[in-house]
Amino acid sequence: MPALLDRIRSKDAKVGVVGLGYVGLPLSLAFARSGFEVLGFDIDPAKIQKIAAGESYIRHIDAPAIREATSRGRFAATTDFSRARGEDCLIICVPTPLTAAREPDLSFITGTGESLAPHLRAGQLVVLESTTYPGTTEECLKPILEKSGLRAGADFHLAFSPEREDPGNAKFHTAQIPKVVGGMTPACLEAAMALYGAAIDRIVPVSSTRAAEMTKLLENIYRSVNIAMVNELKMLCHRMGIDVFEVIDAAATKPFGFQAFYPGPGLGGHCIPIDPFYLTWKAREYEFSTRFIELAGEINIGMPLYVVQRTMEALNELGKALKGSRILVMGIAYKRDVDDMRESPAIRVIELLQERGAEVAYHDPYVPAVPRMRAHKVDLRSVPFTPAELARYDAAVIVTDHGSIDYQALVDAVPLVVDSRRATAKVTRHRERIHVA
């Protein structure tokens, strides 16, 4: 399909991005900045309206970037999937959560495939970016798209390229992050490399879509396992009377053979808490047990309970029971200085505190209200960070260490602070009120 390659190289190709969330929106803007005409697709009309108005619905993505792209005619958005026929390249960036049984939920991928198939035409390139188990592109998405009567690899190109977004990371933007690409055929790979190469600095080709799918899982499993290890060491160090952060900082001075990972209240975000379970599920098909990965998952899943137990112990030292105590959870986004709530461990901390009879509130400067979630029902709004409000609580539990919080003021105002993120390291007054969890 040389015509497609020519259109991509001249940047006359039209690019459609399906799913305008934390991955799809910055990717759309990256292609628009590089000179392509981009059409975003999403089932949420509110996102379409905000893009048309030049507004951002993701904190770390600036509204001026959206306004610039839309005003120049480089970016628009729609809920009408029939317009996919007019696009030369279609990139799928939809969620891949877990079911209640911690098994892969591919409903967003299959639903997108069903929406696109009636409008697919010969000569197009379709790329899946959603993180998933090896084989998804060819075993799941391909048959759905071929309901169009077109054959992948012959009539249209099919590829997989894992997203590598890190929300809130000011050092690396979409265009600067190397892009792994795997195609169903050599021609599919060539088309996908040409597309991403026109907007992203470095392309890393691999031999197949399955290799590309496995690459993303390895990246996140690597982090999951190492975080689980330091989380386990944190619990051991507490019993031994050792400061685990001091130990990690000391070990990090070694100039080779060591990379520092830090403990916390559990894992959040759409990748690390979820992706390892995609591989453990797929491994069963090959009669293989991924025991190391599953153990890491168990440790990380259990960290919110550990934080709650440490809170109970700290309250007991003050002669208070958790039941009936007023607890302020500080930060509920899954990581510092973002408004992203996906898989945040703070929600589980709140639930566990409520189950044990505590009266719970939260403060987060970036999350004014707990959004609707598939697996949780927490109906709370952020309370103000004022001396009068802080004085109402028996304890504060720091779950997310936002940089804009005055932690000295928090420690001054609240009798007990349970810190699971080392956020109070620079606090000087009333350090006796701080318990590390």
Q: Which residues are catalytic?
A: 271
Token digits of residue 241 = 């009377």
- Distance between CA atoms of residues 25 and 52, nearest Å: 13
- Distance between CA atoms of residues 383 and 397, nearest Å: 14
- Do residues 368 and 385 make contact, with C-beta atoms less than 8 angstroms apart? no
Which residues, at least 6 apart from 2, have a Cβ–Cβ distance to it below 8 Å?
none
- Phi-psi map region of 180: left, alpha, beta (phi>0 left; psi -120 to 50 alpha): beta
Which residues, at least 6 apart from 143, have a Cβ–Cβ distance to it below 8 Å?
none
CA atoms within 13 A on the CB side of 128: 35
- Distance between CA atoms of residues 134 and 212, nearest Å: 8
Pairing of strands 125-128, 89-92: parallel
- Distance between CA atoms of residues 55 and 346, nearest Å: 28
